[in-house]
Structure 1
């Protein structure tokens, strides 16, 4: 049986390397052009570059070594399944009612402000601030630090539940591919349209999304659509899997160690959800690449040969994403063909995908925490006068040491990913020694990727060319 242990070990190793190869690109500076606009206020790291790179590499390397020393499968399983359950139907029902009311009122208010409020005011508009500061930054951070708040706040789900539905069978082959396509489209639209500077453009995007979402929920059941096809719901569900608080199948609230749910086999269940997880990494990579000197040079070169800027940005988005998917799937296929193991490449690709969520959460902290803090006074000012916001609101300047918070976010995400991958390997690999030896190259690759990621985060960002500001 030794040959089988070696085969399984090689399979897991190559998939881990593929996972980390995806994670390196996610460290590119700036998660979106929203953050680029605040690059002047971001924290800085006032230490030599080589020192903080070496420190980051040392932290990840040491954590990997310490993790590999934990070889007791029962001990690791106990940690991952420890939970505290508590239930209060009255409190949950009250929070749900209040949360749904807030969500619907917020959607109506954003549409009204976006249409009738002042235009061309950018990040002083309440519509823009709630979309990017509250939903994309704060609520997403809440999902992976506490638990997923979106099922309660989601206004489209509340509206769809009150509307009639055909309850047509959802095709199994469709999976979450509609959510994948929609998220990629949103990333492209965010770059090409002035959704940040023009509340009216953003309102139009919200209106189109509302129409498509309610149509999907009316065609299928709201439960099915918001579980599989809605990009925002899938976004929050996957980020929420990193958080410690969740509701089990019985509706009971349970509390587990942060990140341990990523080791469960029900977080990512098919290849379409794997593809969505890769989008979470790729959208950070893409949005960062187009604001760095290599990305700007690539865009200007392609436009210079006669391609339209919109087509160039779309091609970079789709080709890069296809490359990420191909690399991940090729790793699974290659290891399956070389390793004579009963584990299919599809199963291995699914089981090793959840650590991507921890890495994405770490980079989200690095890119959006400072963004949310800086614009918090602006958000409060816009809430006090949504139709007549202060044209020169207060923005907080981040202190120089805030750069260490960004670095900590990246490192914590990588450390959690190391632990989850280790837990999965102990579950899949029959031999403890084989599982340990299989992670030696993983340490080296993780150190290299961490150093590259931290270095890219330290680089300056510029406005992407040929787009409307």
Structure 2
């Protein structure tokens, strides 16, 4: 090993240790001030909020500065190129058949139990399987282990067995159908009683089924579920963060997040939009159940705007703000790097690292939710038509705030590292690569401050929505 390589590796190890120390330090500060939204825990504040937020922002800023010390392209490339591949053709075929059967059975289970089972959300296996099993746990599996959705997807199985491919998918359409329908799903999840009324949930699932089956039959399942179906795009992008990735030869095990530097994770502007929706929807979910969001909604209702339109307007306005800020950063990156590359191309290449941030946000929002309610899921699944009168729920311990804060910070630090590596892939000069990162690092610090601030606030019920 050359002296330069050895020095780079030692620098990398030292950087990792410093980042871990900073993260733990921020977690200690945060834990003394945090009121965990999902678990609705709160404690006495002994540290000023400004210091708590500054500490979180400092972690990301310091991680960016320390990451920039790593300029050896060989070491940077090894993080993304080192992987262990193995062929699992027979196992994959058997697993695909098993998971595909489970996916179809799960869809039928939710529909039947939602229609004829108990009509109280906390007692309905249909509701719990959808939100605890799918929205929370399956997504966590997608970015911590690997994406199981291609094998589980029941709509793809059904569409593949039917005549399809009657039209050619327009290239200009990209993933915009997935972006639009995901925004509709986020809004409907809030304003419709999907988590409290199993029949309302079934109605939404049937409407979604009609939409996505029509797209798959019209454009072929392969094309539609790659680009147009929001749930499939959701899991595909979250799955790109995971350490287990699918390849043409089977599976490979790599470093978490290393896939995010590839140039085929997203290939057009609509992919950028979908990633921004993933980041924004979790911020939005935290905003509307904390005091700033509740006060905003109350004020707008007070001037006569219908609540349904308020929530839709806040959703779209926040997304538009994220969109504007991100593209401003892409333009600034092009200017600072003094490159011939278009700011559109830079925006596409620098967007995948934000998926690490989205994964950290998701974990902070849904880890406690999953731990609390998975015993209820098991209880109701065991007797879906006659569940126990009091399904088991776990209470989170007082230190669980450490876990949620750590998820947010680790997601941001991984995003910083991937941004660093992407810049070294794009630009030949070290100074040019470092300068290109500044606008996106500032965005990440801003996202950190906003998300930590929302997590630090006590959770409240969203107002003017169905219980």
Q: TM-score if structure 1 supplies the norm length? A: 0.87
Whether contact under 8 Å (1:175, 1:272) holds in the other structure is yes
Distance 2:125 2:108 in 1: 12
1:106-185 correspondence to structure 2 within 5 Å: 106-119=106-119, 121-185=120-184
Counterpart residue number, 1:68? 68
- In 2 relative to 1, CA 84–280 (structure 1 residues): closer, same or farther, beyond 3 Å? same
Question: Which of 375, 378, 381 is residue 379 of structure 2 equivalent to?
Answer: 381
Range that drifts further, 200-209 or 382-391: 382-391
* SS of corresponding position for 1:195: coil
User: Residue 317 of structure 2 corresponds to which residue in structure 1?
Assistant: 319
Name the CA distance, whole Å, in 2 between partners of 1:166 and 1:436: 46
Aligned to 2:177, the other structure's residue is in SS state: helix
User: Residue 381 and residue 259 in structure 1: after superposition, are their counterparts in 2 closer, same or farther (change >3 A)?
Assistant: same
Alpha carbon RMSD of aligned pairs, Å? Answer: 2.3
Look up the match of 1:366: 364
Deviation sequence 1:412-458 (CA, Å, 0-9, x none) = 10110010010011122222134345556876775565345323211
* Residues 44/402 of structure 1: CA separation in 2 closer, same or farther (3 Å cut): farther
After alignment, is 323-332 or 87-96 more displaced?
323-332
Change (3 A) 1:381 1:338: closer
- Structure 1: which 5+ runs fail to align? 1-34
Contact 1:366 1:409 in 2 (8 A): yes
**Counterpart Cα distance in 2 of 1:311 and 1:62:** 41
Deviations 1:76-109 (A, max 9, x none): 1122111111012211111111000000001001
Q: Where do 1:422-433 residues align within 5 Å?
A: 422-433=420-431
Q: Give distance in 2, aligned partners of 1:47 and 1:334.
A: 39
Any conservation in 2 of the 1:125–1:199 contact (CA below 8 Å)? yes
2:340 equivalent to 1:342? yes
Measured in 1, the distance between the counterparts of 2:326 and 2:183 equals: 18
Q: 1:44 to 1:168 in 2, by over 3 A?
A: farther
Q: How many residues align?
A: 431
User: How far apart are 1:140 and its partner, in Å?
Assistant: 0.4
CA distance in 2, matches of 1:331, 1:62: 20
* Whole-Å separation in 2 of the counterparts to 1:45 and 1:63: 29
User: With CA pairs under 8 Å and 6+ residues apart, which has the higher RCO, 1 or 2?
Assistant: 1
Shift of 1:288: 1.8
How far does residue 185 in structure 1 lie from its aligned partner after superposition?
A: 0.2
Q: Tell me how far 1:294 sits from its aligned partner.
A: 2.1
**Partner Cα distance (2:333, 2:67) in 1:** 24
The 8 Å contact of residues 336 and 436 in structure 2, kept in 1 or not, is answered as no
Q: Call closer, same or farther: CA 1:255–1:335 in 2, change over 3 Å.
A: closer
